[in-house]
Structure 1
Amino acid sequence: MADTAKSKPAATKKSAQKSAKPRPEVRFRMRIRSADAVALGPGKVALLEAVREYGSISAAARSLDMSYRRAWLLIDELNRSLKSPATHSEQGGQSGGGCTLTPVGETIIRLYRDVEEEAQRSCAKQIAELTRLIRS
């Protein structure tokens, strides 16, 4: 009987998972283009956040399942698009080098995330109407 009691909650849990409908996910993906390049977008902001967390481009790239070369190119393109760089890198050596955000980099993250939050709040009614049209 003890085995039956143990298996019953598991079965109830399973049926509850099956009956729960996944909710549509809404994401804003703002990009700022400069000439032919994306000067700023969601990938570069995520990379800046990872650099802030891990202190290096290589560790940030690993955390995002991205090659070091791709991450370095994105950081380079971002910094070339800005009036002042978003990151400061130090060469390797005994201490291993690293990469930190400049005040511009911190400002970019804050402003970008603020825009996302404000857009979500401002469009909540329309988002709710749109998501009601999605089959779940």
Structure 2
Amino acid sequence: MRIRHGDAVALGPGKVDLLEAVREYGSISAAARSLDMSYRRAWLLIDELNRSLKSPATHSEQGGQSGGGCTLTPVGETIIRLYRDVEEEARRSCAKQIAELMKLIRA
């Protein structure tokens, strides 16, 4: 599922995966590495997401002795929960159609 905001994809599977990785690793760079993504790409995705929201999904701290980091805001946590709920509901509601589509995919 993708939610568009103008021409941009405000929210989609890649951004939600990235938010989950930020939650797990506590930084954009570590999250990017875990997803085999460049730091620049991850930063751009987070920036695009935060700019499309009324309140940001992440909070970043500058480097320094502790090395900085990135955490999710309550909005970020809510996005993950709602997005995964929608995925599960779609999976349940569309199980028959998904099964038929899977038959069309080469094994």
TM-score by length of 2: 0.94
Alpha-carbon distance in structure 2 between the residues aligned to 1:135 and 1:56: 38
Report Cα offsets for 1:15-51 as digits up to 9, x if no partner.
xxxxxxxxxxxxxxx1111111110011100000000
Root mean square deviation of aligned Cα: 1.2
Q: Which runs of 5+ in 2 are unaligned?
A: none
The structure having more radius of gyration, on CA atoms, is 1
Change (3 A) 1:64 1:134: closer
C-alpha displacement of 1:129? 3.1
Name the CA distance, whole Å, in 2 between partners of 1:44 and 1:133. Answer: 28
Secondary structure in structure 2 of the residue aligned to 1:33: strand
| In structure 2, distance between residues paired with 1:44 and 1:83 | 16
Question: What is the deviation of 1:102?
Answer: 0.2
Structure 1 length as normaliser, TM-score? 0.75
Distance 1:70 1:126 in 2: 33
3-state SS of 1:95 partner: coil
Moved segments of 4+, more than 6 Å:
none
1:59-118 deviation line (CA, Å, top 9, x unaligned): 000001111111101000000000000000000000111000000000000000110100
The residue matched to 1:38 in structure 2 has which SS?
strand
Aligned sequence identity (%): 93
When the two structures are aligned, how many residues end up with a matched partner? 107
Output the CA distance in 2 between the equivalents of 1:62 and 1:129.
35
In structure 2, do the counterparts of structure 1 residues 133 and 38 end up closer, same or farther at CA, with 3 Å as the change threshold? closer
Q: 1:56 to 1:126 in 2, by over 3 A?
A: same
Shift in Å, 1:127? 2.1
User: Unaligned regions of 5+ residues in structure 1, if any?
Assistant: 1-29
Corresponding residue SS for 2:105: coil
Aligned counterparts of 1:40 and 1:134: Cα–Cα separation in 2: 26
Deviation at 1:125, TM superposition (A): 1.9
Cα distance, 1:124 vs structure 2: 1.1
Counterpart CA distance in 1 for 2:2 and 2:20 is 16
